[in-house]
Amino acid sequence: MMIQTIQFVGIILLFINLIPSVTGMTVNNDPIDVRFASSIQIDDVLKHLNEFQAIATASNGNRAAKTIGFNRTLDYITNFLALKTNFKVTKSFFNLRNFQLLRNPTLSSTINGVVKTHTYSTNLAAAEFYHVQYSTSVTISNNVVLTAIPNFGCSDADWLAAIPSPDGLVALVKRGDCTFESKAILASKYNVATLLLYNDGSTSNNMQPIYINLGQNNRVPALFLSYNLGQSLVSAANDPSRVATIRLSIVTDSALNPTGNICADTVTGDPTQTIVIGSHSDSVPAGPGINDNGSGSATNLALAAALSSLLQTSNYPAYKYRVRFCWWGAEELGLLGANYHVAEAKKASVVGERITDYLININLDMLGSPNFIFGIYDGRTTPTNTPAAAKPGSNKTTTLFQSWFDQNKLPWDYTRFDGRSDYGPFLAAGVVAGGLFSGADAVKTTVQVNKYATMLGGSLGGTAGIRQDICYHQACDKTTNINEFALNKMVQATAYAIETLGQQPNLKSWLYPTREIQDINRNTPPSQYEYDSINEYFGLPYN
Ligand SMILES: *[C@@H]1O[C@H](CO)[C@@H](O)[C@H](O)[C@H]1NC(C)=O
Ligand SMILES: *[C@@H]1O[C@H](CO)[C@@H](O)[C@H](O)[C@H]1NC(C)=O
Ligand SMILES: CC(=O)N[C@H]1CO[C@H](CO)[C@@H](O)[C@@H]1O
């Protein structure tokens, strides 16, 4: 995985860097054609939001992945694209696994004939063990021998050194040194009956079991043990004078649900230089998801239709680059749609489908928050695992959005660029990213309200001390939860960004300036871990 990233950086470094003097407002000093930005109509966006609302109303109140409301959303998007664009539309399905405990897991140990039943509790301070998200099901009713994996179970060497060999046994592995996912992958490779992870006891906070998520791709049954329980089982397993065995059961619903991504490509433009505009098509189960993130999806649809008709206008300059609009499934469950797409692109060899064919990912998530900010992802603060290649371009994309708000005398704010939306997997794969965000559960500050009121006029300043979206992830995230003024500006800003990028004479060298990338590489050696752990997206402990 890491090798791939380095190769990608390598390819980028080969591009001749012309460093065009593009500020975002001109192309070779010619003003850009801004017909896209000015042609886009807020009503076209609102129309889609009303349709999404109608779908949710007719589908148990939401449009979440794995539900009929989500499927109807995908049908609506595909039908609209077929009717209103000449784009090439592709729907690709991936399997989404359920994870639901059907009953509490059980665990007992037998050491030299002494049976102990261990305590499961959702109160982690009282629990000796806890379930692991995406563990598979298992029932071990005969006594299966325990084996302790040396060190942290992070390398083949650790697993090969275990006595007895872990094949078919229950394996104990201590927290630390690598991600829990890496440990689980090795556990699966060495064919364990169950993986028992345990806390490391390094501080008083590291005694009890913790909640971890091994991700959709996990293939082993697993539990998480307290340090004390883990330690006592390790001592027994390592003591030749004792016989240590385990009985346990983990019963989950892990049914597979096919979930779709939709992408729609312009029929013109170089497929090896693609601009990807992404948004997510699912809502949370709690509500219709009209702001989160119907606003992004609806904007994406309106942009696709407007660009399709402009590009068929004879006097509108054709873009040198292909533009691909995508609607990712299952963002709310951990960026699964975008993650799947990027993972496939890393493996792909078909021209136009490879990760190296992507120049930039613009992400549209929440765009019409009622107590909005004009948030621009802050490209100066890419997550630490971002390859150098993606950094300068991400910062330039931030500046590009800022220039539109500045030209239009509108306020704006930087917003966190921490990888926790669908652009995360692209950025981690070395693709430049950027986008807009109108605010979720953060509180709008007095400073912000004053700034927005001064620049926009009193009532548009919003309300200090309340959240930017009071209906975030709730049933009230309906069409009434949209600030149309804010959404309108966000839509125009996005169209402007796409239009400016599309009209660059050499977008590749603008986004991937060789010298700056080399400087960053010289100062910061590439990070060791590939960013594809679901735990990292959610900030969960991962080692
Ligand atoms: C959604 O569509 C997929 C793919 O066609 C199908 O397998 C699944 O059963 C549908 N889900 C629901 C809840 O209708
Ligand atoms: C980001 O861009 C701004 C404006 O173009 C520039 O002043 C700043 O130095 C850049 N920061 C980084 C970290 O690249
Ligand atoms: C940018 C943004 O905040 N988008 C939100 C869309 O939905 C996901 C999951 O609900 C949130 O985590 C994101 O914050």
366 lines ligand 3 (CB under 6 A): yes
The reply to whether 315 and 446 lie within a common domain is yes
Beta-carbon neighbour count of residue 217 at 10 Å? Answer: 15
Of all ligands present, the nearest one to the C-alpha of 376 is 3
Q: Which ligand is nearest to the CA of 392?
A: 2
Domain containing residue 150: CATH number: 3.50.30.30
Whole-angstrom Cα distance, residue 194 to residue 142? Answer: 13
Is 181 among the residues known to form the active site? no
Sequential DSSP letters for 293-317: IIHHHHHHHHHHHHHHHHHTSTTSP
Domain identity same for 207 and 222: yes
Contact between 449 and 408 (Cβ < 8 Å):
no
Q: What is the pLDDT of residues 26-40, one digit of tens each?
A: 555 556 788 898 888
Among the listed residues 128, 331, 499, 516, the single catalytic one is 331
Q: Domain check: are 433 and 420 in the same one? A: yes
Could you give the CA distance from residue 99 to residue 399 in angstroms, rounded to a whole number? 41
Is 539 within a domain? Answer: no
Answer with the one of 205, 228, 253 that is the final residue of a domain. 253
pLDDT digits (tens, 9 = 90+) for 92-122: 888 878 788 999 999 999 999 999 999 999 9
Yes or no: say if 9 and 521 are a contact pair by the CB < 8 Å rule. yes
pLDDT above 70 (res 190): yes
The pLDDT tens digits of the residues spanning 75-96 come to 999 999 999 999 999 998 888 7
The strand pair at 170-174 and 138-148 is best described as: parallel
Instruction: Indicate whether residue 332 lines ligand 3 (CB < 6 A).
Output: yes
pLDDT at site 448: 92
- The domain that holds 342 is classified in CATH as 3.40.630.10
Q: Which amino acid is at 144?
A: V
Written as one letter, the residue type at 514 is: T
379-400 residue pLDDT tens: 999 988 899 999 999 999 999 9
Whether the Cβ atoms of residue 514 and residue 13 lie closer than 8 Å to each other: yes
Task: Output DSSP code: residue 290.
Answer: I
391-407 helix and 484-502 helix, angle to the nearest 10 degrees = 120
What gap in Å lies between CA 449 and CA 455, rounded to an integer?
A: 10
Distance from C-alpha of 336 to C-alpha of 283, rounded to nearest angstrom: 13
Residue 116's domain comprises 104-253
Confidence of residue 543 (pLDDT cuts 50, 70, 90): very low
Quote the number of domains for the chain.
Answer: 2
- Rounded to the nearest angstrom, the distance between the alpha carbon of 329 and the centre of ligand 2 is 33
Amino acid sitting at position 19: I
With a 6 A CB cut-off, is 421 part of the ligand 3 pocket?
yes
Residue ending a domain, choose from 215, 236, 253: 253
Judge if 85 and 125 occupy the same domain.
Answer: no
Cβ(301) to ligand 3 under 6 A?
Answer: no
- Number of neighbouring beta carbons within 10 Å of residue 365: 26
- Ligand 2 pocket check: which of 384, 399, 519, 524 to mutate, most ligand atoms within 8 Å of Cβ? 399
The verdict on residue 167 lying in a domain is yes
- Whose alpha carbon is nearest atom 6 of ligand 2? 395
Taking only the tens place, the pLDDT of each residue in 34-60 is 889 888 888 888 889 888 888 878 777
> Which CA distances in Å does 499 have to 264, 306, 430?
17, 12, 23
Contact indicator for 439, 369 with CB cutoff of 8 Å: yes
Which pLDDT does position 296 carry in this prediction?
73
The model's pLDDT over 251-296, given as tens digits with 9 standing for 90+, comes to 998 888 778 889 999 999 999 999 999 987 565 554 545 555 556 7
Report the nearest atom of ligand 3 relative to the CA of 473. Answer: 10
**72, 95, 257: residue to mutate for ligand 1 pocket, most atoms within 8 A of CB:** 257
State the pairing for strand pair 129-131/222-225: antiparallel
438 lines ligand 3 (CB under 6 A): no
Give the tokens for residue 227.
Answer: 């340090």
> Which residue's CA is the nearest one to ligand 3's atom 9?
332
Of the candidates 214, 221, 230, 229, the one whose C-alpha atom is nearest the C-alpha of residue 248 is 221
Q: What's the pLDDT tens digit per position in 114-171?
A: 999 999 999 999 999 999 999 999 999 999 999 999 999 999 999 999 999 999 999 9
Residue 69 included in any domain: yes
Whether residues 468 and 353 share a domain: the answer is yes
Indicate which atom in ligand 1 lies nearest the CA of residue 70.
1
Smallest CA-to-CA distance from 382 within 454, 433, 421 is with 433
Q: What distance lies between CA 465 and its chain's CA centroid?
A: 29
Nearest alpha-carbon partner for 134 in 203, 175, 168, 185: 185
Q: Among 380, 381, 391, 403, name the best residue to mutate to test ligand 2's pocket (greatest count of ligand atoms within 8 A of Cβ).
A: 380
pLDDT (average), residues 524-537? 42
Residue 540 lies in a domain: no
Nearest ligand, measured from the Cα of 520 = 2
User: Looking at ligand 2, which residue's alpha carbon is closest to its atom 12?
Assistant: 380
Write out pLDDT tens, residues 408-462.
Answer: 999 999 998 988 788 999 999 999 999 999 887 788 999 998 999 999 987 888 8
Looking at the structure, tell me whether residues 295 and 198 fall in a common domain: no
Instruction: Kindly state if the Cβ of 256 falls inside 6 Å of ligand 1.
Output: no
532 within a domain of the structure (yes/no) = no
Domain check: are 410 and 339 in the same one? yes
Atom of ligand 2 nearest to the CA of 391: 14
Look up residue 175 and give its DSSP letter: S
Strand (E) or helix (H) holding 511: helix 507-511
CA-CA distance, 313 to 172, in Å (whole number)? 65
Q: Does 436 sit in the ligand 3 pocket, CB within 6 Å?
A: no
Note the residue count of the chain. Answer: 543
In ligand 2, the atom with minimum distance to the C-alpha of 379 is 1
How confident is the model over 484-502, as pLDDT tens digits?
889 899 999 999 999 999 9
CA-CA-CA-CA torsion sign (494, 497, 498, 499): positive
The reply to whether ligand 3 has any atom less than 6 angstroms from the CB of 373 is no
pLDDT, residue 331, reads 57
- Asked whether 68 lines ligand 1 (CB < 6 A), one says yes
The answer to whether residues 278 and 203 belong to one domain is: no
Per the domain annotation, does 453 fall within a domain?
yes
Check whether residue 233 and residue 262 sit in a common domain: no
Distance between Cα 301 and ligand 3 center (Å): 19
Distance 361 CA to ligand 2 centre (A): 19
Select from 225, 253, 281 the last residue of a domain: 253
How far is 502 from 105, CA to CA, in rounded Å?
A: 54
Closest C-alpha among 383, 339, 131 to residue 217: 339
Does residue 8 belong to any structural domain of this protein?
Answer: no
Query: 3-class SS at 185?
Result: helix
CA–CA distance, 282 with 262 (Å, rounded to integer): 12
Structure tokens at 17: 């860097």
- Give, using CA atoms, the residue closest to atom 4 of ligand 3: 365
| pLDDT class of 19 with cuts at 50, 70, 90 | very low
Q: Identify whether 537 is part of a domain.
A: no
Q: Which residue is closest in CA terms to ligand 2's atom 11?
A: 380
CB distance 303 to 295 below 8 Å: no
Task: Go through 377-413 and write b for each residue having 16 or more CB atoms within 10 A of its CB, e for each that does not.
Answer: bbbebbbebbbbbbbbbbbbbbebbbbbbeeeebbbb
User: Within this chain, do residues 205 and 313 fall inside the same structural domain, yes or no?
Assistant: no
Do 89 and 233 sit in the same domain of this protein? Answer: no
Same domain, 40 and 65: yes
